[in-house]
Amino acid sequence: MTRVAPTNEAEVTELLTRPTERTVSAVETLGGDLLILGAGGKMGPSLAVLTRRSLDAAGLPYRVICVSRFSSATARAQLDLPGIETIACDLLDRTALEALPDAPNLVFMAGLKFGASASPGLTWALNAYLPALVGERYRDARIVALSTGNVYPLVPVESGGATEETPPSPVGEYAQSCLGRERLFESTAERFGTPVALIRLNYASDLRYGVLLDIATRVAGGEPIALESGYVNTIWQGDANAVLLQAFTLCASPAAVLNLTGAETISVREVACRFSELLSAPAPSFVGSEQETALLSNAGRCHQLFGMPRVPLDELVEWTAAWVRASAPTLEKPTRFDVRDGVF
């Protein structure tokens, strides 16, 4: 049965953080506290609250510790809940990093994407140097490190997307630094025997941001849509967070790799036309034409291991349209899914 589309932030947060059988089973395997580094970003707050609610449902007392610079007071306020601890920290400060609490489970979410081309030094520091520091500091933990499908090359659309066996060939300096992140965590696994899982995500949607919101807002505003990157992947952020929790069971040395996205190769043209129907907007205008390649990932292994996403694409499209119709707030952080040269 189709769920009622959320149309305000309280409703979307409730859906994102609602425990399921999968997430409750996942936290039962943790065996101790969970530390989230970079918890103040787009996904961190909902992951933390989902973990806390799942632990409560399982009757487990483990701590959820969230670390970030917390440059946004809003992000920290979202985590001001019983059973969630927040620590403001510059993770590049080695003394501050060493002073953080120990934990047997760590989710690494820190990094820089937008503005990477303007600040290449900081990009490499956060995306590659910091993982080396964290790997050494938390060598005794299980580490789930959030990575990106940008480490793959553009692949033929008819291929169904890059698999975990596709050799990385990142386009642009941001993607190169993300491969650096992976290599440094792989080094941690090799040097110290640290169990690591590298999760290559593209793209998460939570209605306030995501590739579907980008397309829907362009349709609603009558803005032209570029088609050179005419095919994309996406997944409901609640489903993505559930996989991050379950991924601790994959942590290994050498490091394990897993693609994380939805099951469909989405046509930008087709989904834009669908949004025009749902939004009662004029037919979308397009610029350019679909190329034979795109940034696509095949998450078949993830779906075999952890099940299909609970929110299918059609429903996610309808939710996004309802969000736009309601003029609900957005994070104003476009995914820039149509970038092909890797410059963000």
Task: Please give the pLDDT value at position 65.
Answer: 98
Question: 313-325 and 268-278 are packed helices; what angle lies between their axes, rounded to 10 degrees?
Answer: 50
The pLDDT tens digits of the residues spanning 50-105 come to 999 999 999 999 999 999 998 777 778 889 888 999 999 999 999 999 999 999 99
What DSSP state is assigned to residue 166?
A: S
Task: Please give the pLDDT value at position 116.
Answer: 65
Task: Please give the pLDDT value at position 74.
Answer: 79
What is the Cβ-side half-sphere exposure of residue 224, based on CA atoms within 13 angstroms? Answer: 7
* Domains annotated on the chain, with CATH: 9-207+233-265+294-311 (3.40.50.720)
Chain position carrying tokens 């997430």? 23
Distance CA 306, CA 310 (A): 11
Chain position carrying tokens 């973990």? 51
Distance CA 223, CA 79 (A): 36
What is the maximum span of the chain, computed from C-alpha positions, in angstroms?
58
Q: How many separate helices (H) and strands (E) can be counted in the chain?
A: 13, 15
Cα dist from 32 to 60, 195, 246, 248, whole Å? 9, 15, 14, 12
pTM (whole model) above 0.75? yes
Distance CA 56, CA 50 (A): 10
DSSP symbols for 305-323: HH-S-SS-HHHHHHHHHHH
Please count the other Cβ atoms lying within 10 Å of the Cβ belonging to residue 3.
Answer: 11
Residues of the chain falling short of pLDDT 50: 1
Task: Please give the pLDDT value at position 1.
Answer: 46
Query: Among 318, 334, 19, 295, which residue's Cα sits nearest to residue 149?
Result: 295
Q: Is 8 helix (H, G, I), strand (E, B) or coil?
A: coil
Distance CA 164, CA 162 (A): 7
Residue type, 213: L
Residue type, 285: S
